[in-house]
Amino acid sequence: MIPATAGEILTENRLRAFVRCSEFYHLGGNLEESSLQEVVRSVYENTLASIIRRPDLDPLHVMNKAAYRLIKATGMQDTHMQSQVTEFHRHTLLIANEIFTTLPLAHYTPVFGPFTYITRVSKTPIELRISGLLRSKKNKALHVVSFSPYREQHSVNNDPITQLKLTTLKHAVPPHNNRKADCRMHSFGTYNTGTLFYRFTDTSHRNPEILKQITTMVRIMEQGFRYPITPCPHNCKFKEICQIGEKK
């Protein structure tokens, strides 16, 4: 049988869309990042990549240029007043800088990133995104930086994407200082209020039960299984066409 996902490489947000609601997924739904988080992530990734290439660069200067370029690419200038664009630019810089304050360059050397890689669950390839790999100057351990749409520690730990990253990257991070090989992941994102959130997860949070559930879920997805949630608590753009979902 050809799986319903045949030919598709699932992105992180498409897999999360299925977790939210199978009907939402099959209608083409995607759990998108907020525009602020998307720009902050891109600014952080661009800055990290520039510093890896040229460690002598001033991170603030690089961030400023990246933020300007990325905001321009969104076309925000065409739809907002200049003062709003300036404020968004200032706010983006503040948040991106907060990430560098949380994982300071004085303590962590950027070594690689951003990058994506593919892992396979059942018959379906899933693309995982890593914003950067940092090496601790203190004990040479590798640290993974990632972004998440989930804000609570519990949700980040139980996110299928977190679980897949912890599992697949544990082999990429070699043993150090007599510790077992492990993966230390720093997840960032933005609250609706526009402030930064930060969660730490490591290999000790790997949950074999969740990993089994992911495999089951992807198999269900491959069979084309779909059903709307009733009653549906989500504010969803498909409410009007979803057969059984609650109407607004």
User: Which chain residues interact with ligand SF4 by CB under 6 A?
Assistant: 21, 23-24, 27, 228-229, 232, 234, 236, 238-239, 242, 245
Give me the residues paired with residue 126 across strands.
10, 119
Of residues 27 and 105, the one with the C-beta less far from ligand SF4 = 27
Of residues 110 and 228, the one with the C-beta less far from ligand SF4 = 228
CB of 234 to ligand SF4, least distance (A): 4
Residue 84 host element (H or E): helix 82-102
CB of 120 to ligand SF4, least distance (A): 27
Q: Which residues are CB-neighbours of 233 under 8 A, at least 6 positions away?
A: none
Of residues 176 and 234, the one with the C-beta less far from ligand SF4 = 234
Q: Which residues are CB-neighbours of 199 under 8 A, at least 6 positions away?
A: 148, 151, 153, 156, 186, 187
CB of 193 to ligand SF4, least distance (A): 24
Closest CA to 232 of 220, 241, 219: 241
Cα separation, 22 vs 224, in Å, equals 9
Q: Are 164 and 128 in contact (CB under 8 A)?
A: yes
Residue 89 host element (H or E): helix 82-102
Of residues 1 and 241, the one with the C-beta less far from ligand SF4 = 241
CB of 224 to ligand SF4, least distance (A): 15
CB of 223 to ligand SF4, least distance (A): 18
Of residues 80 and 234, the one with the C-beta less far from ligand SF4 = 234
